[in-house]
Structure 1
C-alpha cells in the first residue's frame, strides 16, 4: 500500500481494517461455502430425515441458503440507515462485531449439541446408530431453534459490516483521492484473500473433521476480526453521521414556541425532519442509482447460485482427479483465484487496451452490461453441462468429471469483476456525501431481492437443466430492460 505522503497516509488504520476485512470475509465466505451442505447433510438430514425425502430436503436446503444470503443483504440496508442517519460508520461496525461474535458462539454450541458423542462426521446413519432413533424427535425443536437463532445473529452481524467499505474511504482526506482509490483496491483484494482461504479451507475442514471443527474455524476468525477492528479504534478517522436532508433545526423550547406562535409561524417548520422525510429525500436524490441497481436483481440471483445449485450439481459428478478427491463445495474458491487474477488484468491490460485501440472511454454501465452478459453465458454453460450429466448412457452419469464446471466458473468470475466491483465504485462515486452508505446499501438490497426471489423459485418443481436455461433467458431480458432504463444516465463528474 503506497501513499503520496507517508506522514499523512493512514497506515495503521488501513492495517487494522485490512486484517478485519480478510478475517471477517473468511467467516462470511466460509459459511456460505458449506451452508447448503450443512442444511442438507447435517441439520435437516439429522432432524427431518425421517419425515422428508432426499429431494425435498435438497430443495428446502436451497431455499434456506437463499433466505440466509438475503438476510445478509437486508441487514446491509439497515446498516446504511444506521451509519448515515444515526450511528455513523464506526459505531455501526462495532454493532456488527457484537452480533457476529454472539451468533458464532451460539452456532458452535448448537453444532456441538446436535453432534452425538464420539461422532466426528455428519453421516446420519452413524449418528442415528450412536444416539438412538428417538433423538431426532426429542431434540427437533431445540436444535432447529438454536440453529436459526445462531444463523440469524451471525448473518445480521455480517450484513451490518458492509459499512466497512465506506469506512475505508473515510480514513482519507478530500485531497487524498489517489490514495483513497488505492485504498479501495486493497480493500477488495483482502476481501478476496479471505474468501480464497475460506472457500478452500472450510470445505476441507468440513470433509476431514466434520461441521463442528469447520464452524470452529469460522467463529475463530469472527473473534479475530472483532479484536482487530476494536484494536485499531485509537487511529481511525471517525466521520460523524450526516443527516439526509441537511437540516439541523432543533425543537423550539416553550419560550421560543410562544414567540413563534405570536409571529404566526408554525412550530412544525422548526422541527427536525422525521425519519420518513429523510428516507424520501434520500430516495429522490438517488433515483438515478436506483434505476441502475434495480435490474441487477436477476444478476445477483444467478451469481449466488455458484454456492448452492452449482455445488449440488457437482455432487452428482466425478470429484476425483486421479487419486485426489476434490469436494464440490471447494469449487467456489476457484472463483476467488480467478477474481484475484482478473482484477489487475482488466484494470492494467484490458481496459487501457480497449480505450487506446478503440478510442473510447469505458464507463461503469459498459462494464455492468458486459458483466450481466457473462453471467447469462455462465448459466448456458451450466445448462449444457447438466444435459450432458443426464445423458441416459450406461456408466455416464456420475462419471462426468468436476473439471467440466471450470468454464462456467470462469464466466461467472469474469461477470463478478465487471459487475460486483463496479457497483461498489459506482455507489461511492455517484452518491452525494451524505448518502454514500445508503447508496451502497441499495446495491445490497438488489442482492437481497435477487436471492429472495431465487428462494421462491427454488420451490418450483423444475428440472435443473430447465432452470439453468430459464435463468439465462431472464438475464438476457434484464439486459434489455436495463439498457432502456439507463440509456440517458448522466454521471456526476460529467
Structure 2
C-alpha cells in the first residue's frame, strides 16, 4: 500500500508545469473562456430573437428567457450527482459538453429561414418548426451548461497538490477572469453579428449570431479533450448530495423521536445524527447549513440582476444607443458587469487582499 502511494505521488509530481502551475489548467481555462463566450453570446441576443424573429410578446419572451436561465442554474445539481456517482468529473464534462454543442447547433438551425419562408414583416410563415427547434436547443443547452458547471472549477482544483494552496487560489482568480473575459467579448461581438443584414431581414442575422457561439462551444470541447493526457482524474466517490440529505433527515427524525426530557439537549440539531454518521461529515454539514442561511436573500438579488438580459435589453431598444460617437446595441448593455469584474478582480487580488494580509487580519 505504501509503495502504491509513493508511486502515485511520483506520477502526480512528474506532471509538467509552467510558472508553478500544472499545464493542464491552461486547457481548463481556455475551455472555460470558450464555453462562457458560447453561453453569454447566445444569451445576449436571445430575447431579441424571441421578440423579433419568433414574434413573441415582450412578456412571453421574458418569461421563456427566465425559465431557460432558471433551468441552467438547476441542472448543476444533476451534473454534480452524475459526476459524483457514476462518470467522474472528466467524463461528465466531455459527455455533457457534447450535449451542449448539439444544443447550440440546434438553436442556430432554428434561426435559419429560407427566403420563401419569411413574410414581409420579417417573421417566419411557419413558426412552429422554428419554435420547436428553439425549445429543444435551449433544453439541451441548459442540460449542458448546467451539467458541467459544478464540475469544471472543481476539476481545475483537482489538478493541484495539497502544498500548492497559493497556486490554487491564483488559479480560481484566473478562472473567474476567463469567465468574464469570455462573457465580455461575446456580449460585444454577438450583437454586432446579429446586426448584420442577412437575407430579407435587415439587422437580424441570428444564424450568424448563434452560429459563432456554437463554433466556440465546439472549440471548447476539443480544447478540453486535447488536455486529457495531462489531467489528474479522480474516481467517483459517491453521491454526496444524497448522503448529506440522509444525514440531515436522520438528525431531524432522531431529534423528534427523543423529545422527552430524559435525553439531554444537544448544542446543534445535527448532533442528533452522531448515532449513525461520523463527526467529520456532521461538522461539514453544519458548515454547509450556515452558508445556505446566508444564501436566503440571494434569489431576490438574482431575480433583479438577470433582468439585464430581458427587460433591460427591451428597454434599451427604446433608448438612444449613441454614446460618445459609439453606437451601443441593445443587447450590448449587459457588458457593464463583466467590464467592472475584469477591472476589480486584479485590483482586489493584487492590492486589496495583500493589504489585508499585511494588517494581520484573518481574511480567507
Pick aligned residue for 2:52 from 41, 44, 60? 41
Partner of 1:228: 223
* Separation in 2, partners of 1:26, 1:331: 16
Gaps of 5+ in 2: 1-15, 198-204, 250-281
Pick aligned residue for 1:338 from 337, 340, 348? 340
Q: How far has the Cα of 1:10 moved from its partner?
A: 5.0
- Residue by residue over 1:196-219, the C-alpha shift from the partner in whole angstroms, topping out at 9 and shown as x without a partner, is 110100111111241111111011
Closer, same or farther: CA 348–8 of 1 in aligned 2, 3 Å: closer
Q: How far has the Cα of 1:6 moved from its partner?
A: 4.4
- Residue by residue over 1:40-67, the C-alpha shift from the partner in whole angstroms, topping out at 9 and shown as x without a partner, is 1112x1xx5xxxxxxxx00111111111
* Separation in 2, partners of 1:316, 1:154: 30
Please state whether the residue corresponding to 1:316 is helix, strand or coil. Answer: coil
Kept after mapping to 2: 8 A contact 1:9/1:172: no
Q: How far has the Cα of 1:356 moved from its partner?
A: 6.6
1:169 matched to 2:174: no
Please state whether the residue corresponding to 2:348 is helix, strand or coil. Answer: helix
Kept after mapping to 2: 8 A contact 1:243/1:278: no
Bigger fraction of residues in helix: 1
Closer, same or farther: CA 181–68 of 1 in aligned 2, 3 Å: same
- Residue by residue over 1:76-97, the C-alpha shift from the partner in whole angstroms, topping out at 9 and shown as x without a partner, is 1111212222222111101221
Closer, same or farther: CA 89–279 of 1 in aligned 2, 3 Å: farther
Kept after mapping to 1: 8 A contact 2:82/2:88: yes
Closer, same or farther: CA 302–356 of 1 in aligned 2, 3 Å: farther
* Separation in 2, partners of 1:293, 1:85: 26
Partner of 1:99: 99
Closer, same or farther: CA 309–319 of 1 in aligned 2, 3 Å: same
Please state whether the residue corresponding to 2:297 is helix, strand or coil. Answer: helix
Write out aligned runs for 1:45-56 (5 A): 45=55
Pick aligned residue for 2:323 from 318, 321, 324? 321
Kept after mapping to 2: 8 A contact 1:169/1:180: yes
Closer, same or farther: CA 324–178 of 1 in aligned 2, 3 Å: closer
* Separation in 2, partners of 1:182, 1:62: 37
Kept after mapping to 2: 8 A contact 1:30/1:202: yes
Kept after mapping to 1: 8 A contact 2:84/2:238: yes
Write out aligned runs for 1:82-93 (5 A): 82-93=82-93
Deviating beyond 6 angstroms after TM superposition, the runs of 4 or more aligned structure 1 residues are 354-357
* Separation in 1, partners of 2:242, 2:166: 37
Kept after mapping to 1: 8 A contact 2:93/2:148: yes
Partner of 1:485: none
Closer, same or farther: CA 15–360 of 1 in aligned 2, 3 Å: closer
* Separation in 2, partners of 1:7, 1:339: 26
Kept after mapping to 1: 8 A contact 2:22/2:159: no
* Separation in 1, partners of 2:293, 2:75: 21
Pick aligned residue for 1:146 from 119, 127, 133? 133
Q: How far has the Cα of 1:289 moved from its partner?
A: 2.5
* Separation in 1, partners of 2:237, 2:302: 30
Partner of 1:74: 74
TM-score by length of 2: 0.76
CA RMSD in angstroms, aligned pairs only:
2.6
Partner of 2:299: 297
Q: How far has the Cα of 1:185 moved from its partner?
A: 1.3
1:20 matched to 2:55: no
Gaps of 5+ in 1: 49-56, 129-134, 246-274, 364-494
* Separation in 2, partners of 1:281, 1:295: 25
Kept after mapping to 1: 8 A contact 2:28/2:224: yes
Pick aligned residue for 2:142 from 145, 152, 155? 155
Q: How far has the Cα of 1:229 moved from its partner?
A: 0.8
Q: How far has the Cα of 1:142 moved from its partner?
A: 2.1
* Separation in 2, partners of 1:71, 1:30: 18
* Separation in 1, partners of 2:162, 2:361: 29
Closer, same or farther: CA 39–180 of 1 in aligned 2, 3 Å: same
- Shifted more, 141-150 versus 289-298: the winner is 289-298
Please state whether the residue corresponding to 2:115 is helix, strand or coil. Answer: coil
Please state whether the residue corresponding to 1:208 is helix, strand or coil. Answer: coil
Write out aligned runs for 1:260-275 (5 A): none
- Residue by residue over 1:373-424, the C-alpha shift from the partner in whole angstroms, topping out at 9 and shown as x without a partner, is xxxxxxxxxxxxxxxxxxxxxxxxxxxxxxxxxxxxxxxxxxxxxxxxxxxx
Partner of 2:246: 280
